[in-house]
Amino acid sequence: GHRRTLSWVLAQEAEEKNMLYHANSQGREIWVLLRYRVAVKWRMGWFIASKLCIPILVGAVYASFFAMLPKSFFGNFMNAGMLFATVALAGFLAIAPLEDFKGEFPLILRQRQDGYYRGSSYVVEKIVQEVPFGLLGALGFAIITYFAIGLKLTPYAFFFYTLAAFVVNMVATATAFAVAANIPTIEFLPQAIINVWSTLNIMVTGFFIPQCQMPVWWKWLYWISCQQWTWSAMMLNQFGSQSGKDAVIERGDCSSTSNTGSEQCSNGIGTLMDRLPVLFQTIGFNSSARNQCVAMNDFTLQMFDLGQGAHGNQWLCLLYASLSLPVFLVLFYVGIWRSTRSRGG
């Protein structure tokens, strides 16, 4: 066989040729970063507060406004608004990881240029840093909001709601890292871009403007928006049959009027909206519904053009939402490589 020959490069020559060598394997780099940087950060009070306290406090605010919504079509519409607010929140909570990255960027720049670790190792570090508290934050938010608001009481639906909240928050975090890594030297611009991007995604969820009414130049964003697919998944989870039916739905114990214990609107649009599903069911629209609750839920989904086509399966919707994650992770890596490559890869 052929004998391997060693190639020796002097440090001075490597410096002149702008070459970069890594002392450790990538696995070793990731282990060191997790042990000596991520593990330390997990014990810092400010980091715990930003990842746990903020979503829990926001969840408490949501619960105080949406507590025990009536089992009526008017209540369904308010539930849709609450689910929309949950998805919209993720985009603006991305400011915290963005500021985290900006604060440590000067250190990362020096360490990368000195060849301490690869850019891909740093990307892995940042995502692993976010996952545990992202899960705990989503779970804390879900426990507070889900039961206080009175969403569908099945284990399947609760699990899916928590998972969807986690997915949209992780995508928002990856988006923040991607933007900050590609524009690391301009102080105000990353935050401005995140706010504009979050606003655009909010506008194309389908809650304010149905897809058929969106301007042609924005429809492309509707189909790739993580917030749109996550909101659609949460709506199907709450009002569809895929996640099961709770006792109220099984009994058909929903009101066709506003005269219920939890209904505070005794006149105006509340009464009209509660009567719409029954009216349409009477004239043959959605006649397959077996009871008042099913009629209300079906009508709610149809009003937002959900429950059919690409928006017919909640798991597929969540899958489409999660596809944004690898895209923004690649952009994050590209940004780290670009902004720290002056003395090598």
pLDDT at 256: 47
Tokens representing residue 42 in the block: 């997990």
Q: Which residue type is seen at 306? A: L
Residue length of the chain: 345
pLDDT at 289: 52
Query: How confident is the model over 77-129, as pLDDT tens digits?
Result: 888 888 998 998 888 788 888 888 888 888 888 888 777 888 899 999 999 99
DSSP string, 288-328: T--SHHHHHHHHHHHHTT-SSGGGS-HHHHHHHHHTHHHHH
pLDDT band at 52 (very low <50, low <70, confident <90, very high): confident
Cα-flanking dihedrals φ and ψ of residue 253, to 5°? -90, 60
Residue 21 reports pLDDT greater than 80: no
The pLDDT > 90 percentage for the chain reads: 33
Asked if residue 118 lies in contact with residue 30, where contact means CB atoms within 8 angstroms, the answer is: no
DSSP string, 139-173: HHHHHHHHHHHT----HHHHHHHHHHHHHHHHHHH
Residue 9 reports pLDDT greater than 50: no
How many Å apart are CA 95 and CA 98, to the nearest integer? Answer: 5
Residue 262 reports pLDDT greater than 70: no
Query: How confident is the model over 173-218, as pLDDT tens digits?
Result: 999 999 999 987 777 888 889 989 999 999 999 998 888 889 999 9
What is the mean pLDDT of the segment spanning 222-237?
95
Least confidently predicted of 36-40, 223-227, 337-341: 337-341
Asked if residue 9 lies in contact with residue 19, where contact means CB atoms within 8 angstroms, the answer is: yes
Asked if residue 54 lies in contact with residue 243, where contact means CB atoms within 8 angstroms, the answer is: no
Which SS3 state, helix, strand or coil, does residue 112 take?
Answer: helix
pLDDT at 4: 43
The radius of gyration computed from the CA coordinates of the chain, to the nearest angstrom, equals 25
Query: How confident is the model over 238-250, as pLDDT tens digits?
Result: 998 888 877 776 6
pLDDT band at 43 (very low <50, low <70, confident <90, very high): confident
Average pLDDT taken over every residue of the chain: 81
pLDDT band at 276 (very low <50, low <70, confident <90, very high): low
Residue 10 reports pLDDT greater than 50: no
Asked if residue 338 lies in contact with residue 107, where contact means CB atoms within 8 angstroms, the answer is: no
Residue 12 reports pLDDT greater than 60: no
Q: Which residues contact 32 (CB under 8 A, 6 or more apart)?
A: 24, 117
What is the mean pLDDT of the segment spanning 299-315?
88
The pLDDT > 70 percentage for the chain reads: 79
User: pTM, whole model, 2 decimals?
Assistant: 0.83
Residue 8 reports pLDDT greater than 50: no
Query: How confident is the model over 132-156, as pLDDT tens digits?
Result: 988 999 999 999 999 888 888 889 9
Task: Give the best-scoring range by mean pLDDT among 46-50, 72-76, 179-183, 185-189.
Answer: 179-183
